[in-house]
Structure 1
Amino acid sequence: MTGTLRRALGALAATTLMLTGAITAAAPASVAAQAIPTMTGIRTGQNPGFDRVVLDLTAGPAPAVRYDLVDELIADGSGEIVWLTGEYFIAVAATPAAAHDDAGNPTYPGPQKFRTRNLHNVMAVAVTGDYEGTLSIGLGVRSRTPVTVFTLTSPNRVVIDVRH
């Protein structure tokens, strides 16, 4: 996919999100009052057979999660390439989730990008987006292996397991 096409698709997605946001604004107050979970931390750990990345979230509805194996990581909103250490990349998105509070203050005090020297396959992690109720994370990995992404509750967490 060319950079021009990727940027055009990003602009289309941003427009769609803005239109969806306008529709959502008209939703009943009970839906709007439901708190979006915010990220407070990112933890990593090596386990037998897989590396684990955990996004710690505050209370609220458990987000839906998805992931894609991608050629490069793209920053939400800007469409810019996110440069990250890795041979291959995994893009993970959680919705609804954010890394800021209602006043726009960051709820995650850690770095936006960091290396994970203690892991076998995951080389680096980056926050690639915090836009319109979607929190996006990118992983740089050494090799393409199976990935499992799921949520846990009490407390809310997004778990990303990457096989060795």
Structure 2
Amino acid sequence: MVITLRRALGALAATALMLTGTVAAVAPASVAAQTISTMTGIRTGQNPGFDRIVLDLTAGPAPTVRYDLVDELIADASGEIVWLTGEYFIAVTVTPAAAHDDAGNPTYPGPQKFRTRNLRNVMAVAVTGDYEATLSIGLGVRSRTPVTVFTLTSPNRVVIDVRH
């Protein structure tokens, strides 16, 4: 029965090709191009009780954000260790997001790694990955304290609060 159905569908497709001379293909919805937010800046600030890191993003769907307390920061794609000032490390992933445009040009003009001397707990920040619609940021911190990560919209932002 399955073979007969396949043959019938194949014959129907061949007939349609002969009659129209063209073949139309429909891409599945999951393959359709989607617009993702791109990072344009990283801001830092000290607040009473916590240090704040803000990732500024362009318009697009609000990304999902996750963080992990890790022993070392690993660069996405290469798997190399990212050396960063800090006693402990926080790895933050933002998806879907990027730090480059469709042509591969960077949308974030700042440094890939920098010290944050104005903050009490966060010592340094690094862009650890920009690969396959996943943007990764690493933080080097003085002490393990609670971390809160969330997104804001209009404009899109990722907020990382690290307690002192």
Q: 1:12 to 1:26 in 2, by over 3 A?
A: closer
* 1:25 CA drift (Å): 13
CA distance in 1, matches of 2:58, 2:142: 31
* 1:131 CA drift (Å): 0.3
TM-score scaled to structure 2, two decimals? 0.82
Gap regions ≥5 residues in structure 1: none
| 1:20-43, Cα deviation, whole Å (9 max, x unpaired) | 999999964697343100000000
Q: 1:146 to 1:6 in 2, by over 3 A?
A: farther
| 1:90-132, Cα deviation, whole Å (9 max, x unpaired) | 0000000000000000000000000000000000000000000
CA distance in 1, matches of 2:87, 2:15: 32
Q: Does the CA contact (< 8 Å) of 1:34 and 1:60 recur in 2?
A: no
Q: 1:8 to 1:113 in 2, by over 3 A?
A: farther
The structure with the greater share of residues assigned to helix is 1
CA distance in 1, matches of 2:85, 2:7: 22
Q: Secondary structure at the match of 1:35?
A: coil
Q: Does the CA contact (< 8 Å) of 1:10 and 1:77 recur in 2?
A: no
CA distance in 2, matches of 1:141, 1:85: 8
Equivalence for 1:73:
73
Q: 1:155 to 1:24 in 2, by over 3 A?
A: farther
* 1:4 CA drift (Å): 51
CA distance in 1, matches of 2:3, 2:143: 24
CA distance in 2, matches of 1:2, 1:17: 23
CA distance in 1, matches of 2:19, 2:73: 24
CA distance in 2, matches of 1:71, 1:3: 56
Q: Secondary structure at the match of 1:38?
A: strand
Q: 1:28 to 1:10 in 2, by over 3 A?
A: closer
Gap regions ≥5 residues in structure 2: none
Q: Secondary structure at the match of 2:155?
A: coil
| 1:51-105, Cα deviation, whole Å (9 max, x unpaired) | 0000000000000000000000000000000000000000000000000000000
Q: Does the CA contact (< 8 Å) of 2:17 and 2:23 recur in 1?
A: no
Aligned residue pair count: 164
* 1:14 CA drift (Å): 39
Q: 1:35 to 1:25 in 2, by over 3 A?
A: farther
CA distance in 2, matches of 1:119, 1:7: 69
> After the TM superposition, which of the residue ranges 26-35 and 73-82 deviates more from structure 2?
26-35
1:157 aligns with 2:157: yes
Rg comparison, structure with higher value: 2
Q: 1:158 to 1:109 in 2, by over 3 A?
A: same
